[in-house]
């Protein structure tokens, strides 16, 4: 049987020693406690057990209460519970199962029966872990762009909303970079979409390598990328945007026997207090800055202030450092 991490909890020293000894003989990783309070500390610690074998009657926190606490937790791996009890009345067993126990053994019990029930528990734990893994895979797939493996359009907008909400609460700035590969349609038309897709994958990776661990990047459109930079002011965002531009532009891309270079235009803006937060206006401001770069010959970085007046019009009013725009 595959090794599991098993927690044994019993205030009877003889039972505790016997079960722990046999479980270790069977090759399991065993931790033990003689009361419910100590057991709860093990359950809350990392790595947590896969299975808990618990006595019903214990000082402090009883086995029944411990079951209820375990089942009240959310977002944690499933813990399979085998309840040990001297009670054999049907209403007691029902109470134990209703509290969250998966199985029970009536004292005194045969160790072979414990082994069989552990194997049954292992099957349940494995199924639960597979379900958690599948659910997590589906969650990631729902957020990821399938080509570049960065966030998709909806997920990057969700990230932007979260970061602006956090910035509002913590009174910190948050900056946005909207990047667009220049004349990328010509790449697809000349070399085909397979080559174009490979370039998009590599561009996303080069961009991501420039970001901090808590920044977010997503594919906003075909060859457009949106980056969300928490606690970054205009100067920091502009500096990062230029590093990203150089990372994309300074090294040619290779696919089989093809070598080609692409350039990148980027618009930058920063949200700070006390402005309200219309999401589309913030992105529109970055897009307005991006348009200025495109209009000036591409391959550069432009900044626009995020400013909402009474008519909620966005006013791009230029970049702080004109030297950041490259010819």
Domain CATH code at residue 166? 3.30.70.270
One domain for residues 315 and 168? yes
Q: Which domain holds residue 72?
A: 5-141
Q: Please check the confidence at residue 312 and state whether its pLDDT lies above 50.
A: no
The model's pTM: 0.68
> What average pLDDT is seen over the chain?
88
Query: Residue 51 is encoded by which pair of tokens?
Result: 């299975």
Q: For the segment 221-252, what is each residue's pLDDT rounded down to a tens digit? A: 999 999 999 999 999 999 999 999 999 999 99
One domain for residues 105 and 210? no
Q: For the segment 54-108, what is each residue's pLDDT rounded down to a tens digit? A: 998 888 888 899 999 999 988 788 899 999 988 778 888 888 899 999 998 988 8
Q: Please check the confidence at residue 47 and state whether its pLDDT lies above 80.
A: yes
> Rounded CA gap, 170 and 204, in Å?
30
One domain for residues 136 and 17? yes
Total of domains in the chain: 2
Last residue of one domain, picked from the residues 117, 141, 165 = 141
Catalytic residue among 163, 223, 242, 302: 223
Core vs surface per residue 29-55: b (16+ CB within 10 A) or e:
ebbbbbbbebbbebbeeeebbbbbbbb
* Enclosing H/E stretch for 303: strand 301-303
Does residue 276 fall inside a structural domain? yes
242 is catalytic: no
Q: For the segment 128-138, what is each residue's pLDDT rounded down to a tens digit? A: 888 888 988 89
**pLDDT computed for residue 263 by the predictor:** 97
**pLDDT computed for residue 308 by the predictor:** 55
Q: How confident is residue 320, by pLDDT bands cut at 50, 70 and 90? A: very low
**pLDDT computed for residue 3 by the predictor:** 75
Q: For the segment 20-46, what is each residue's pLDDT rounded down to a tens digit? A: 999 999 999 999 999 999 999 999 988
Last residue of one domain, picked from the residues 141, 163, 192 = 141
One domain for residues 59 and 37? yes
One domain for residues 197 and 284? yes
**pLDDT computed for residue 133 by the predictor:** 85
Last residue of one domain, picked from the residues 110, 141, 172 = 141
Does residue 146 fall inside a structural domain? no
One domain for residues 136 and 206? no
One domain for residues 267 and 163? yes
Does residue 147 fall inside a structural domain? no
């Amino acid at each position: 049987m595959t090794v599991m991490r098993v927690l044994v909890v019993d205030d009877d020293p003889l039972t505790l020693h016997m079960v722990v000894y046999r479980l270790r003989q069977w090759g399991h990783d065993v931790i033990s406690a003689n009361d419910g309070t100590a057991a709860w500390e093990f359950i809350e610690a990392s790595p947590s057990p896969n299975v808990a074998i618990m006595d019903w009657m214990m000082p402090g926190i009883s086995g029944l209460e411990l079951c209820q606490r375990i089942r009240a937790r959310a977002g944690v791996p499933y813990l399979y519970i085998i309840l040990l009890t001297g009670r054999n009345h049907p209403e007691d067993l029902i109470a134990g199962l209703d509290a969250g126990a998966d199985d029970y053994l009536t004292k005194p019990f045969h160790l072979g029966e414990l082994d069989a029930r552990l194997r049954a528990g292992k099957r349940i734990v494995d199924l639960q872990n597979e379900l958690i893994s599948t659910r997590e895979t589906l969650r990631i797939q729902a957020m990821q762009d399938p080509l570049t493996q960065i966030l998709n359009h909806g997920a990057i907008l969700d990230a932007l909303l979260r970061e602006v909400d956090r910035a509002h609460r913590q009174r910190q700035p948050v900056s946005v970079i909207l990047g667009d590969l220049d004349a990328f349609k010509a790449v697809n038309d000349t070399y085909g979409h397979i080559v174009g897709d490979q370039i998009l994958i590599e561009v996303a990776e080069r961009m991501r390598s420039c970001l901090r661990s808590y920044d977010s990047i997503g594919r906003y459109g075909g060859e457009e990328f949106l980056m969300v930079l928490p606690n970054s002011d205009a100067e920091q965002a502009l500096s990062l945007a230029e590093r990203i531009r150089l990372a994309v532009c300074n090294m040619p891309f290779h696919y089989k026997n093809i070598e080609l270079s692409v350039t990148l235009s980027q618009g930058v803006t920063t949200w700070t207090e006390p402005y309200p937060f219309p999401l589309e206006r913030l992105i529109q401001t970055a897009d307005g800055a991006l348009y200025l770069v495109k209009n000036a010959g591409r391959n550069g970085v432009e900044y626009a202030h995020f400013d909402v007046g009474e008519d909620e019009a966005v006013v791009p009013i230029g970049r702080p450092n004109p030297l950041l725009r490259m010819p």
